[in-house]
Amino acid sequence: MKYEYTLDCYNENGNKKEIKFKTSRELREAAFLMLEVRTFGVHSWKEVQANELPEKVRTAFGCQY
């Protein structure tokens, strides 16, 4: 994998956790990502709009949507 990221992430309850993962694509600056995390780390991810995030996650990020 070409790119490695360490991100502050929030679960659907708004609990924060730092997650590291690698991907072959460069992520867009200030993008929101929906991660599917399994036992051994990030299984998949996709870029989403702020209004697609769970309410507690939007609140944690300070989104006004």
CATH classification of the domain holding 22: 2.40.50.480
| pLDDT score for 25 | 92
| pLDDT score for 65 | 60
Domain count, the chain: 1
| pLDDT score for 61 | 85
For the chain, the distance separating the N- and C-terminal CA atoms, rounded to the nearest angstrom, is 34
Read off the pLDDT of residues 25-64 as tens digits, 9 standing for 90 and up. 999 998 999 999 998 899 999 999 999 999 999 988 888 6
| pLDDT score for 1 | 77
Q: Which domain holds residue 45?
A: 3-61
Read off the pLDDT of residues 8-18 as tens digits, 9 standing for 90 and up. 999 989 999 99
pTM: 0.81
Q: Are 18 and 6 in contact (CB under 8 A)?
A: yes
